[in-house]
Amino acid sequence: MKTERKLEKQARTVRSGYLYILSLALSASRDTAKMDLNMDSNAPHSMGTTIIGVTYNGGVVLGADSRTSTGMYVANRASDKITQLTDNVYVCRSGSAADSQVVSDYVRYFLHQHTIQLGQPATVKVAANLIRLLSYNNKNMLETGLIVGGWDKYEGGKIFGIPLGGTLIEQPFAIGGSGSSYLYGFFDQAWKEGMTKDEAEQLVVKAVSLAIARDGASGGVVRTVVINSEGVTRNFYPGDKLQLWHEELEPQNSLLDILNSPTPEPMNI
């Protein structure tokens, strides 16, 4: 469906037959770097994304980057991909921004009613199941991968991964989004059972930061949400304060700052 809409727009603004064919070939796969000369700001917003959910001894830590892209253009560089479903359950969203928002909104509504009927907070499992039912039953129309994490009094901290097709899988930790491809090996080595809250949060921040370094579709800031029996804590790690990895350059606020320095060189390598 996305490709059809793209085709229509491109047909209207095409400059030459050759360019048209080239852009068709390039935009056939969503993962290739698109040199879209005819960039379409009305194209569906996709969250490149890195999302992570990790259980620790006493609760869960959810983490995400903050980049929402429309093709090559970063539509929102400070988005909040960790949304609240109930007081004790949050969800990390990836894939199509619209699809994930709509699914979250429906589930928030159902959970609200469920909480009222039950007379007590909903469990993480129930929240995850509701998300799964929507994802699975509408799998032909949706494109969103979600990580549900929270704390309830029966099971403690739990993480459920609900990838594209609508599987529901309970995991001690879950990763998702385009940036997660670069984190599988990292987690195999760095993950351990029964971490403390601080260890878990440091792990999540480090992981998102590594993914941002390598994945073009992830970037911006790192947001984390810690959920345990005491409640929910939101944390924010600005992009320029993150640790630099191999071959990364120092962040610069503006290239214009170089002009004000004593020896203005166009590029300081």
Partner 1 sequence: MSSIGTGYDLSVTTFSPDGRVFQIEYAAKAVDNSGTVIGIKCKDGIVMGVEKLIASKMMLPGSNRRIHSVHRHSGMAVAGLAADGRQIVARAKSEATNYQSVYGEPIPVKELAERVASYVHLCTLYWWLRPFGCGIILGGYDRDGPQLYMVEPSGISYRYFGAAIGKGKQAAKTEIEKLKLSEMTCREGVFEVAKIIYKVHDEAKDKAFELEMSWVCDESKQQLRKVPDDLLEESKAAARTALEEMDAD
Residue 216 corresponds to which tokens in the numbers above? 């073009």
Which residue number, 126 or 221, has a Cβ lying nearer to partner 1? 126
Nearest to 159 by CA among 229, 62, 51, 47: 62
Q: How far is the CB of 126 from partner 1 (least distance, A)?
A: 5
Rounded to a whole number of angstroms, the minimum distance from the CB of residue 114 to partner 1 is: 7
Terminal-residue alpha carbon distance, the chain: 45
What DSSP state is assigned to residue 139? T
Whether residue 61 contacts residue 208, with contact meaning beta carbons closer than 8 Å, is answered with no
Amino acid identity for residue 61 in this structure: V
Nearest to 66 by CA among 235, 228, 183: 235
Closest CB 99 distance from partner 1, rounded Å: 21
3-state secondary structure of 118: helix
Give the count of beta carbons closer than 10 Å to the beta carbon of residue 269.
Answer: 4
Shorter beta-carbon distance to partner 1: residue 159 or 203: 159
User: What 8-state DSSP symbol labels residue 194?
Assistant: S
Is 49 part of the annotated catalytic residue set?
yes
The residue among 126 and 211 lying less far from partner 1, judged by its C-beta, is 126
Q: What SS3 class is residue 48?
A: coil
Helix (H) or strand (E) holding 81: none
Q: Residue 17 or 119: which CB sits closer to partner 1? A: 119
Catalytic position from the list 49, 86, 123, 144: 49
Shortest distance, position 106 Cβ to partner 1, whole Å: 13
Sites of contact with partner 1 (CB under 8 A): 114, 117-119, 123, 125-126, 128-130, 132-133, 154, 168
Nearer to partner 1, 160 or 237 (CB): 160
What is the smallest separation between the CB atom of 40 and partner 1, expressed in angstroms? 39
Q: Just list the catalytic residues.
A: 49
